[in-house]
Structure formats: C-alpha cells, structure tokens
Structure 1
Amino acid sequence: MQNWWRGAVVYQIYPRSFLDTDGNGVGDLTGILARLDHIASLGVDAIWISPFFTSPMADFGYDIADYRGVDPLFGTLADFDRLLQRAHGLGLKVMIDQVLSHCSDQHPWFRESRQSRDNPKADWFVWADAKPDGTPPNNWLSLFGGGAWQWEPRRGQYYLHNFLPSQPDLNFHNPEVRRAQLDNVRFWLDRGVDGFRLDAINFCFHDALLRDNPAKPEELRTGRGFSPDNPYAFQYHHFNNTQPENLGFLEDLRAVLDRYPDVGALGEISSEDSLATTAEYCTPQRLHMGYSFELLTEECSPAYIRGTVEALEAKMTEGWPCWAISNHDVVRAVTRWGGAQADDPLARQLVALVCSLRGSVCLYQGEELGLPEAEVPFEALQDPYGKAFWPNFKGRDGCRTPMPWNTDVHAGFSAAPPWLPVPEAHRLRSVAVQENDPGSVLQATRAFLHWRKALPALVHGSIRFVDAPPQLLAFEREHAGQRLLLVFNLSPDACTWPLPAAVDWLAVPGVVAATQADGTLHVPARGVACAVLAA
C-alpha cells in the first residue's frame, strides 16, 4: 500500500510505561513486542515508539546520547529488530521518534564541543559570548522555565538550551550538523522503519543574529502545556525557533526519505502560529504530515474545534494533517475535556471524534481504555518540568503512568514497583477487565476503528463543516462518491436538530447513538450520528 500514512491511525507507545519484562519497574522493547497483538487487534495501522535511544534520562529519552544505540534500560538493537519484524508481520508500520534539534549534554558531540573554542566540534552547538556585564547574550527563555542559556566555564561562553540545561541545542547553521543528523535518519531507514515522528522539528534553527524576542502582552500570555506562571509565555518566540532556514533542511530531509519506499514523516510543531507553520512545513517537498497542539488544550467546544480545523484546512493547500487529543505531554483528554463529568460515553465519543476528522490520527496508549489523568503525589513525581513548577503545575507524569494490563498490584505492568505508581482507578480499567465487557471503551475503540476502515470518506475524504446548534459539531466527509454527515454532541445534555428525513443513517459502533423521528435528529449527551448523503 503506497502512502500508508495517509489516513492512518497511529498508536503512540511510551516505552517506559508500556510493559516491563525484566523486572526493573521500567517498560522495555521486549514488552512492546509481547503486546503487539493487543495493538494490532485495535485496528490501528502503525505504532509510534517514543525514544528508546541511549540517554541519561534527564528528560526520559528525549535527551539522546547516542542516536543509533538502544539504551540498556529498554533492551538491545536486536530486540528492536525483532519488534520491527513482528510488527510488520502483523501488518503494522513502525514509526520512531527522532529528536534532531537537540541532544543530551552527555552526547560525545557536546562533550567535545564544550572543551574549547577550537576543537572539531566547537561549532556544532549554539555558543555565544556573554554581554559585557556577564549576563546571557539575549533574553531567550527555556520552555521548562528560566533562561535558555547555560554558562560553560571551559569555553567561557553560554550555550543555548530551549529545553533542559542538559539538552543543548545543535547548531543547524553548521552543514556538518545537518549531514550528521541526516546520516542518523538513514541508519534507521536502513534497518526498515516506516517513518519518523520528528520531535520539536521547528526548533532546529535559531536566529543567527541572536535578536531578543519581543514581549507578549499579559492578556495573551497563554500557551499550550505551559504552567500558568511559566515565563516562557511572556514572549513572542520569533527568534529562538521556526526560522526560514528550516525549510531548506526539511527539503533535504524529504530528499533522504524519498529514496526509501513508502515512508512517512510526522512533524511536531509548536510555534507562535502553529497552524500556519504546519501548513508551510507539510508540502510534497517537505514533511508528509504535521500536527500542532491546538487540540491538546483545555478548550473543546464545537466552535473551537471547528475553527481550528477550518483554519488549518484554509492554510494547508498541499499537505496532510494529523490530529491528536492526547499524548505523553498533556493531561489525558478524558480528564482535560470532561473534568468531573468524564465517563465512558465521553471516552468512546472522543476516539470516534478524532478518528473522524480529515487527516491521520495519533492515539496515545491507554486512550483505548478511557484512562483518566492519574494523580501523582509530589514524593513520587519524576518529571523535571513538574518538579520545577509544583504545585501550580504538576507536570506530565499524570499521563505517563504504566499501562494497566490486569488488576494485579502493579496492574500486570511489572513484577517490581513501577517507576510511576499505578492508580487504583486505572487497574479497574485494565485491558483484562475491559476484554470481558462488551460495552467497554476498549471494545468500542476496536469496533469503531474497524468500521472506519470500511468507509473511504472517513479515511481519505475532504471535510466541510455544517452549521448546527452550539453544542453539536457537524461536518461532512466525502470521497470517491461516498458522502457522510457526522454529528457529535459534545455537551452533557441531550440536543435536537431539525433535519430532512430523507437520509440513510448508519449505526456507529461503540458510541451513544442518536435517533431521528419526524424530521428531527435527537442526539443524547455524548451522542454520535452518521448519515449517508447523496454525493
């Protein structure tokens, strides 16, 4: 199948929290291999594995010390090869994370670069002299809080880190850096991976003039995933990321990808205008797909979702979008969008909703179980972001707790105490429990994803939103002579909508069903409807 990624449902695996097979309390590649049958049974098309590379784990794998090595915590390169072979045998494509813009301060490149100003790697990172008063060269801030510059006494200079101080930014203005990272991409393509999720891909280049970022007015200081008191939101980030030079690098990257049969690249994009950047980055000459953080926020009204999708559709004239409502960086969607009213009908509806938008989809592990956000006490916290901003912001650990496989003390995840605690509410929603419940979120997810595969309009079709009552999100999908109307009641209250009676209503599996009588559509709370319209 060519362009397998187009309309695909991609299941994100956070390796630390999927399944531990060696009893150290941390998930591993062998654990992923052991549960590939579960993933394949869902009806997804691919897996995306978050970083498993050699790393000191300051940011749990997103600080890479060897781009071609598997960290012993997760296993070996041979384990990855077995996983890849088994996944392909099950019909699953395999995408892996690539963190190109920065690495670990333990990477040999940085360990050499920091020693002096005249070594072979001296210009591989973003170094700058102090101002005359000794302060950093400009006002750039780290997303994880505080300044984005760290002093290095061995060179007598500052280096840039857009994330943790232990994650120095590579200098992509240096062609040797670009070549080295493209070589690392080739290494995994040669092993047979089917694509990449490109972490923070718009952060590769910085402004070579090191100009200050302008201040942002207080009323606009909101940011996706930021703590309310994170000063990162105080600036417009015009100069520390999303530079025009990045477009040329993406074209070089695409040229590499195009030398391999049917691979895909998905860019994670967070910029001042992420939708515009996503559209600019996703073209036939650059990335295959892109996703930003617009649906990873707390805002979930029909008007907001419609406005977000329509805005991207208007800008993205050539590319292909990808949508996610949960991942390893944000509060789980059922909690974030449902709050105290979160329940199984909402969980089932959210899977159906995100998988009905035009584009590809990323589902995060546990989303098929309707897992709510876990409450992790401070003494068990692992995330450096959460520790820095506690208690106003509790970090990302609440969405990273181990996958519950059964109701045992550690939820079947590990024989040892896991790296993050498993809440009781998750054990009660385990795979084993839901396998035996025909009305479970797990069974609903399977039913919907298999149903979706049989509807070309949902996988490949165009999208056009339809005016409806405020609590309803309604849109049409159309492809190859098939035209569908989908309606989602995102409120906790029932709603009616007068509609022509002459439509053929399909039974949508796994969700609360809407009904029609006397020319009126009756949509229960969290209800979903799908009609076949004349093409």
Structure 2
Amino acid sequence: MTVPHNDWWRGGVIYQVYPRSFFDSNGDGVGDLRGVLEKIDYIASLNIDAIWLSPFFTSPMKDFGYDVSDYRGVDPLFGTLDDFKALVQAAHARDIRVLIDQVLNHSSDQHAWFAESRSSRDNPKADWYVWADARPDGTPPNNWLSVFGGPAWTWDSRRKQYYLHNFLSSQPDLNFHCEAVQQQLLDDMEFWLKLGVDGFRLDAANFYFHDKLLRDNPPNTEVREGSIGVRADNPYAFQRHLYDKTQPENLDFLRRLRALLERYPGSASVAEIGCDHSLRTMAAYTGGGDTLHMAYSFDLLTEQCSPAFIRRTLESVEAELGDGWPCWSTGNHDVVRVMSRWALNGQPEPARGRLLMALLLSLRGSVCLYQGEELGLSEAELRYEDLVDPYGIRFWPEFKGRDGCRTPMPWSATAEHAGFSHAKPWLPVAEAHRSLAVSEQERDPDSMLNIYRRFLGWRAEQPVLVSGEMRMLHHDDALLVFERQLGEETWVCLFNLGDSPRLYSLPGRLEPLADVPASTATFQGSSVNLPAHGFAFARLAG
C-alpha cells in the first residue's frame, strides 16, 4: 500500500525546528531562518517528510514568539519574508514540506488589534478580545486560572474591564465568538498558504473558544499531572477546566479551517491538545475527515514511561480515536528532553535513546521529532541567572522551566559556542552536549545521528510501519510487544524498556527482519532474546 501523495501526513515524520536555537547565520546569538536554510541539507539527510517551524512572526518575544504582534510579518530577529520564501523553496527542492506554527488563541498585547480593542468599548475591534466587567467587589469575573499561574484575568484601566489570558498577561485571548476574528485569522493563514507552506501546527488548539456565560470552573477532586501546565505546584491543576477551553464551538471553526486547507491539496494540520480528556478530544478533533488532519496530546510527554503506561495510552487511542489520526511525540520545546525524562537510574544512555527512537517510529500514526533528539541530547542543566523562560522564572526552583530543552544545537565539538553562533547565544550551550555535536557524530557510522538517519530511511520503505494497524500483545515490568499488520503482512514489534536482558516467546514461527538498523536482538525459533534497552522486529510466519 502506497500512501497517496496528498496524504503524505499519514504516517509521515515531521521534524520540529525551533529557529532560535537551530543555527545563527548573522552572529547575533539567536538562530534565524537563514540559519535553517544553511542547514537544510542536514535536515534532508535525516530522511524526514516535513519540518515544523516554531514561530518566527513579529513579536515582542515575551513568550519567545508565541505572542504574535503581526500574523503576516517575519520578526527582524529571524530575518525577512524573502528569507522565509527562500527556505520554503529550498525545502521543496529536497521534497521536504514546511509546516508553520499558528498561535491563534491569543495575540501579543502589542498587536494593533489589541491596542484598538482596549481603547474603548465601542471601537470596531471592541469585541475582538474577551472583555468582562468586574464583580461588584472588584474581583475578576470568574475563577479561571492562567496556565502560567495566577488569575486568567487582568484589569485594564482604559476600558475599566478585565481581559482574559489563558497564558501570560501579555497574551490576551482573541474572542472566537466574534465572526470577524475567525475570518481574519483564516485570511492570515491563507496568506502563508499562498506563499507555499504545506500546512500548520496549531498551538493550544482546544483553547480557542470560552464559555460565553463565563461560568466558574469546578474544583478538580483528583489532581492529575500530565496535562498542559499541570503540576502539583501550579494551582491550575486544582480546577476541572470545563468552561475556559475545549468548548463545542471549536469544532465548527476547525471545519472552516479544514475547508481552507482543502483548497490547497497536500496541505495538512497537526494540533496540540492539552486537556483532562485529551484522547477523547483528539477523536473529536480529527474524526470525520472534516476537522484536523491529526493531533497530538501530552500523554507521552509526561515522566511516566512504564510499559503498562505506554500500553494503556496506546490502547486508549486505538479504542477512542475511531477514524481520527494521531501524531506521536516524546519531546518538544515545552517539556524536559526525553533522554532525561525517560532515563533509567537518572543516566541518559545511548542504547535507551535508540530504543525510544525505534518505539516512537513504530507506533500507528504520524510522528513529530524535536531537534536534537537525533543527537541523543539530554536536558541542559541551567543556573537560575541563565533562565529567560517566564514560566521557569515564576516557578523556580520546583520547576526549572522550558529553557533546558531549548538550548542551542551543538554543531561542532571544538568551535566556540559549539558552532551555533559566533556571539554569545541567547541561552548557553550545554557543555554535556559538545561531545554529541554533529561534527563528532558525522564521523561515527554507529552514532545516534547516523542510526536515526538509517532507521528513518528504513522505516520510510516499510508500509506496515507507515500505514498498518496496531494490536497490543503483551507487557510486563520491562517488555512491550505489539503487532503491526497491513494486508497479509504481520509484524511483531518488541521493546525491552528494562535495564537487563529479557526473553520473550510467541506461539508460531517468527522470521527475523535482518536489516533493522541498530537492533541487537537474537532469535531462536519463536523466542527472542532482547538485551537491555533492546528492540526487534519480526515477521509472523503463517
């Protein structure tokens, strides 16, 4: 079975580029679009299908680009619109598609729209943001909380009203109940489609609409870590977020967005969904073929990594998603790097990195890889004085923020700042990353980088992994075993997440797949010997 060209996203692999930290082309200490362009052949060598560019739009950078002040502009920090066009052209020449972040839930408070909206209660954009009167005692209109801590409402002395912000107070929420807002955002997205982008990654896609009645959220009687922004030290976890996000009106807007994308064949959407019932929401947001193409949740972005947890997550997706489509990731710019988060005994081991690579790339669905995962980068340890992330600064020291996964890519082990820049970088280069630099790994055929390249190239030629169905077979304290099946072809995929060798036996005969990159398992009949952090793939003989 060959995936149709316009359905490239089904089973496709998307490489997330965080431009600030990828490569600095002009020596100002910050990565930029020209830097991504200069490294496009490196990206192509990974054998991925698309890149996702984190925000490069005009912004005051209070949240490092996730606070947009011009949805059609390139911030001078990252270059020019011509730089972006050149990058798209270069990517397409290498058969790499380009997805760009869209931060639709909120803008910057320095956006011209917000300046007009806050100027009075009767201007043309007065209802473009979520405004509400104070309670009689002057307190906010309800109990909603910001993901970043504290009330989700800030008083504005000009309008003498509160405005809603689910994130920073400098990120006011747009009012999706206003038709003009929806149309403007769709027009802005079409601007980029006309420039050749192949789709969008949608930030906080279930936050767009709020409850019109502004009802209080009820308490969360079972504080559960794992959702976006939910930790025991953040009061956001203490509410059930019934009214501030994941409203039914979201689906109608997503259908409008899908209709726009359908006018540009081959374009696709992948959404970030963070909520208490993320799998159920993923099903609603990707089912029916008229909303999102795919979505990912935070279920594999937590610290939990036992075989039982992974199996439960995978089976829940298979049971609840219906005809929807998942996109899996174990890392991004918001969470501790997977090599540290899922390390055993606190030590990031290369063998475990290869195991996690094989597991992620064997799941049914599409995959997002975060830059640096192919190098086996661990979380960078930073001092408080190095932090720039407002999230981390606010919750230090219990939570160190997101800077540790955003440090610069190490290109050279010996160059100043690891070859990322000629100037002092916006975040320090982690010294532990120097030995993992691209320059070092290029020379070693068995390095993590070269194993990623080989595995991704091999996977692209295996229809059963790209498009096949999945059925769980077994798990215990260390092993996770599942089938992938396409037509008459059935594979057994085995993963040892433990730190000691394990033996697994299956009824029936297995034919080992001898060409699997980095697999060190051995077979004897229907038994498989898996070393610590080992994995294997075998064809089930009839």
TM bucket (normalised to shorter chain) is: over 0.9
Matches within 5 A, 1:218-233: 219-220=223-224, 223-233=227-237
- Are residues 1:311 and 2:316 paired? yes
- The answer to which of 29-38 and 516-525 deviates more is 516-525
- Are residues 1:27 and 2:31 paired? yes
The separation in 2 between residues aligned to 1:511 and 1:303, in whole angstroms, is 25
Per-residue CA distance 1:107-166 (angstroms, 9 max, x = gap) = 100011011101111000000000000000000000001000000000000000000000
The separation in 2 between residues aligned to 1:436 and 1:416, in whole angstroms, is 26
Letter in 1 for 2:311: R
The separation in 1 between residues aligned to 2:330 and 2:65, in whole angstroms, is 22
Is this contact kept in 1: 2:27–2:421, CA < 8 A? yes
Shift in alpha-carbon separation, 1:518–1:313, aligned structure 2, 3 A: closer
Shift in alpha-carbon separation, 1:429–1:183, aligned structure 2, 3 A: same
Alignment partner of 1:188 out of 170, 184, 192: 192
- TM-score norm. by structure 2 comes to 0.97
Report how far residue 323 of structure 1 moved: 0.1
Report how far residue 219 of structure 1 moved: 4.8
Is this contact kept in 2: 1:331–1:396, CA < 8 A? yes
Letter in 1 for 2:94: L
Tell me the percent identity: 59
Give the aligned partner of residue 428 of structure 1: 435
The separation in 2 between residues aligned to 1:87 and 1:412, in whole angstroms, is 23
The separation in 1 between residues aligned to 2:182 and 2:479, in whole angstroms, is 47
Report how far residue 203 of structure 1 moved: 0.5
Letter in 2 for 1:475: F
Give the aligned partner of residue 362 of structure 1: 368
Report how far residue 481 of structure 1 moved: 2.8
Give the RMSD, CA atoms, in angstroms. Answer: 1.2
Give the aligned partner of residue 85 of structure 1: 89
Shift in alpha-carbon separation, 1:360–1:219, aligned structure 2, 3 A: closer
Report how far residue 503 of structure 1 moved: 1.4
Give the aligned partner of residue 490 of structure 1: 497
Per-residue CA distance 1:202-243 (angstroms, 9 max, x = gap) = 100000000000011255466455343100001001100000
Aligned residue-pair number: 535
Matches within 5 A, 1:229-378: 229-283=233-287, 284-339=289-344, 340-378=346-384
Give the aligned partner of residue 416 of structure 1: 423
The separation in 1 between residues aligned to 2:49 and 2:99, in whole angstroms, is 11
Letter in 2 for 1:517: Q
Letter in 2 for 1:343: E
- Are residues 1:208 and 2:231 paired? no
Letter in 2 for 1:302: P
Give the aligned partner of residue 157 of structure 1: 161
Secondary structure at the counterpart of residue 411 of structure 1: helix
Letter in 1 for 2:456: L
Is this contact kept in 2: 1:225–1:329, CA < 8 A? no
Secondary structure at the counterpart of residue 282 of structure 1: helix
Per-residue CA distance 1:367-402 (angstroms, 9 max, x = gap) = 000000000111010100000000000000000000
Secondary structure at the counterpart of residue 326 of structure 2: strand
Runs of 4+ in 1 over 6 A off after TM superposition: none
Per-residue CA distance 1:327-356 (angstroms, 9 max, x = gap) = 000000010000523211111111111110
Letter in 2 for 1:528: F
Is this contact kept in 1: 2:227–2:276, CA < 8 A? no
Give the aligned partner of residue 40 of structure 2: 36
Shift in alpha-carbon separation, 1:221–1:324, aligned structure 2, 3 A: closer
Letter in 1 for 2:172: P
Report how far residue 492 of structure 1 moved: 1.0
Secondary structure at the counterpart of residue 7 of structure 2: coil
Alignment partner of 2:531 out of 514, 517, 524: 524
Alignment partner of 1:64 out of 47, 65, 68: 68
Is this contact kept in 2: 1:507–1:513, CA < 8 A? no
Is this contact kept in 1: 2:224–2:230, CA < 8 A? no
Shift in alpha-carbon separation, 1:2–1:378, aligned structure 2, 3 A: same
Alignment partner of 1:451 out of 458, 461, 467: 458
Report how far residue 522 of structure 1 moved: 1.1
Is this contact kept in 1: 2:412–2:418, CA < 8 A? yes
Give the aligned partner of residue 509 of structure 2: 502
The separation in 2 between residues aligned to 1:424 and 1:498, in whole angstroms, is 43
Report how far residue 404 of structure 1 moved: 0.4
In structure 1, stretches of 5+ residues that fail to align are none
Letter in 2 for 1:366: G
Shift in alpha-carbon separation, 1:47–1:462, aligned structure 2, 3 A: same
Secondary structure at the counterpart of residue 203 of structure 1: coil
Letter in 1 for 2:531: P
Letter in 2 for 1:122: A
Alignment partner of 2:477 out of 470, 473, 486: 470
Letter in 2 for 1:74: F
Shift in alpha-carbon separation, 1:349–1:285, aligned structure 2, 3 A: same
- TM-score norm. by structure 1 comes to 0.98
- The answer to which of 312-321 and 114-123 deviates more is 312-321
